[in-house]
Amino acid sequence: MINYEIERKFILGDIEIPLELYNCKIIEIEQHYITSKNNDIEVRIRKINDNEYYQTIKEGSGIKRSEIEIEISKEQYEELLKYSKSSIKKYRYELVYDGNTIYIDTYDCNLYGLNTVEVEFSTIEEGNKYSIPEWFGEEVTYNKEYKNKNLSYMKYEKGALYDFN
């Protein structure tokens, strides 16, 4: 069944994050992309905390994207990993803030130093009306460069992204 992910994404700069955000759920995520950077359809596999595995297909860009996600076994994950073209590793801080679920992602490896925040919504209208907290940085919802699949081909250094190619 196709679901829709409705979210806005922002870069977290050197802005002070409110203290109440530090008491939240933290998960370690590895994502491996099977489709290439230039493909409009995103196929990825994801490992969460070494004990959950998912395959996801996404299509589209911007605030609303179609998404099909299924749980897979560790063996299926390891088999699909052979087809990976690129990957990212990040730590996700998940919490409810002002009535919305937000995810703060701190990236590792080639993206070390990059931090983003995503806010999920039930409807596009809700997303468009969202009052952005002061501690959020630049919005990158519509910037394809900041889609995780595309980030997997990038290096983050001195506040800027650089393509590997």
Is pLDDT above 90 for 97?
A: no
Select, from the ranges 14-18, 72-76, 157-161, the one with the highest average predicted confidence (pLDDT): 72-76
Phi, psi of 23 (to 5 degrees): -100, 80
Q: Are 147 and 56 in contact (CB under 8 A)?
A: no
Quickly count: other Cβ atoms within 10 Å of residue 112's Cβ: 12
Helix/strand/coil percent split, the chain, to 5: 15, 45, 35
Give the pTM: 0.89
In this predicted structure, what is the pLDDT of residue 79?
A: 97
Q: Which of the listed CATH numbers 3.40.640.10, 3.50.50.60, 3.90.550.10, 2.40.320.10 matches domain 3-163?
A: 2.40.320.10
Provide the β-strand partners of residue 61.
none
Strands (E), the chain: 3-11, 25-33, 41-48, 52-59, 64-71, 86-97, 100-107, 115-120, 154-157, 160-163
Q: Annotated catalytic sites, by residue? A: 33
Domain boundaries, the chain: 3-163
In this predicted structure, what is the pLDDT of residue 110?
A: 93
Is pLDDT above 90 for 18?
A: no
Q: Both tokens of residue 113?
A: 């130093």
Comparison of pLDDT for 62 and 38, the residue scoring more: 62
Instruction: State whether residue 62 is helix, strand or coil.
Output: coil
Phi, psi of 15 (to 5 degrees): -90, 140
